[in-house]
Amino acid sequence: MGVLVDTWSLGKAYATTVTTVEPRPDLAELDRPALEAALEARGHKRFHARQIFRWIYKHGVTEIDAMTDLSRELRATLTSDFALTRPTLAQRETSVDGTEKFLLRLADGRHIESVFIPDTPAMTFCVSTQVGCAMACAFCLTGKMGLVRNLTAGEIVGQVRVLADALNLRTKKFNIVLMGMGEPLHNYDETMRALRMLADEHGFDMSARRITLSTVGLLPALERLATEDVMPNLAISLHAPTDLQRGELVPINKKYGVRDIIDACKRFPLSRRSRITFEYVLLAGANDSPQDARKLAKLVGGVKCKVNLIPLNAAPGIPFERPSDEVIDRFAKIVADSGVTVSVRKSRGRDIRAACGQLIVEGQKPSAGQQLAVVAFGG
């Protein structure tokens, strides 16, 4: 593309043409309908999109030239017309309990973290949807950095591509939780495009039942999610039973209150076997009293749900402490005795700071214009 620029020099006008090169479309950023359209626009057959999807997502290739059931000529044309990128693995740490933390570098130099939780049979990838987060939850380190930028669909799926290869799990079944850095519904379009790419039968072919989306409850986006054809499991980051308490912990509650969120959950279409998970980070002295437990049980009682209690993983910069085991047990018992299914999340990867609320890219100073990822899982 040429851009005509007028310049002035020594009082004299010059017209000069500055050539800018359009970046090649990235195959990893295209869902299959978009890839079919892009191929057709360049005079290729649409069905090649299915082959390309199989190579990228089923076989994990990172070079167009490795797609050996495409003709040599087609591979050469595709290589000049398209890029094929994915995040690069910058660092990998393994906890004594088997949890693994992956630091991934994006094309613009920013970093995100993804976590592998190896509990069998449900091996789980925890992935991010944004660099930073605008929600500013009081117990979350990611919230402290604000939103740096949204991830693209290709970067969200790219985390799965990298982890599947690093862990040799590409042909195995695994779960995905969108509980990493960021609020998925605040990056709605790219998150949903990523879910459609993950569900593609010629790619990872992930059942939506294996994917859980965790949100603070952005109501308009939640209503929109209720109409989608790809419907992940839903987890609501509740964390407090009243507007007064929740407003202190999750600032967006001042806009979308507890009652409205519960009403939206009651309307949310659930399949016969599924139910909504309410995530509740237990913070000593802030939301862990017996009264809080009773209020919580009453609040969610009318929803087809389970409650997941997450004792805080205390970390520098988080102004809360983890409750004692006795307080955690007492809270769980009150909720369970009220007839609500409740579980207490086991903490994983604390020794490598991969546990909920602990992920942080340490020891690196952001350069001008580049903010490094501070990741805290909470969602």
Q: Smallest distance, Å, CB 144 to ligand SF4?
A: 8
What pairing do the DSSP bridges indicate for beta strands 12-19 and 100-105? unpaired
DSSP H or E segment with residue 148 = strand 147-150
Of residues 49, 67, 104, 140, which one binds ligand SF4 by CB under 6 A? Answer: 140
* Token pair of 92 as six digits: 């990998």
Choosing from 113, 155, 183, 279, which is the catalytic residue?
A: 113
Burial class (CB in 10 A: 0-12, 13-18, 19+), 131: buried
DSSP H or E segment with residue 114 = strand 111-117
Q: Smallest distance, Å, CB 143 to ligand SF4?
A: 3
Residue 373 near ligand SF4 by CB under 6 A: no
* Token pair of 327 as six digits: 């307080």
Residue 379 near ligand SF4 by CB under 6 A: yes
Q: Which residues pair with 237 in a beta bridge?
A: 279
Angle at 137 between CA 136 and CA 141, to 5 degrees: 80
Residue 135 near ligand SF4 by CB under 6 A: yes
Q: Which stretch binds ligand SF4 (CB under 6 A): 7-15, 178-186, 267-275, 287-295?
A: 178-186
Asked whether 179 and 124 are in contact (CB, 8 A), the reply is no
356 is catalytic: yes
Question: Interface residues for ligand SF4 in 195-224 (CB under 6 A)?
Answer: 216
Q: Which stretch binds ligand SF4 (CB under 6 A): 45-53, 90-98, 284-292, 371-379?
A: 371-379
Q: Smallest distance, Å, CB 216 to ligand SF4?
A: 5
Residue 78 near ligand SF4 by CB under 6 A: no
| Per-residue binding letters, 11-50, with ligand SF4 (x by CB under 6 A) | ----------------------------------------
The sign of the CA dihedral 37, 43, 46, 48 is negative
| DSSP characters over 281-326 | EE-TTTS-SHHHHHHHHHHHTTSSEEEEEEE----TT----PPPHH
Q: Which residues pair with 132 in a beta bridge?
A: 147
Q: Which stretch binds ligand SF4 (CB under 6 A): 39-47, 117-125, 130-138, 309-317?
A: 130-138
Intra-chain end-to-end CA distance of the chain, in Å: 41
Residue 183 near ligand SF4 by CB under 6 A: yes
| Chain centre distance of CA 68 | 32
Of residues 30, 78, 84, 137, which one binds ligand SF4 by CB under 6 A? Answer: 137
Q: Smallest distance, Å, CB 303 to ligand SF4?
A: 20
Q: Which stretch binds ligand SF4 (CB under 6 A): 22-30, 87-95, 134-142, 334-342?
A: 134-142
Residue nearest to ligand SF4 (CB): 378
Residue 182 near ligand SF4 by CB under 6 A: yes
Q: Which residue type occupies 41?
A: A
Among residues 259, 247, 309, the alpha carbon closest in space to that of 283 is found at: 309
Residue 142 near ligand SF4 by CB under 6 A: yes
| Sites of contact with ligand SF4 (CB under 6 A) | 133, 135-137, 140, 142-143, 181-183, 216, 376, 378-379
Catalytic machinery residues: 113, 356
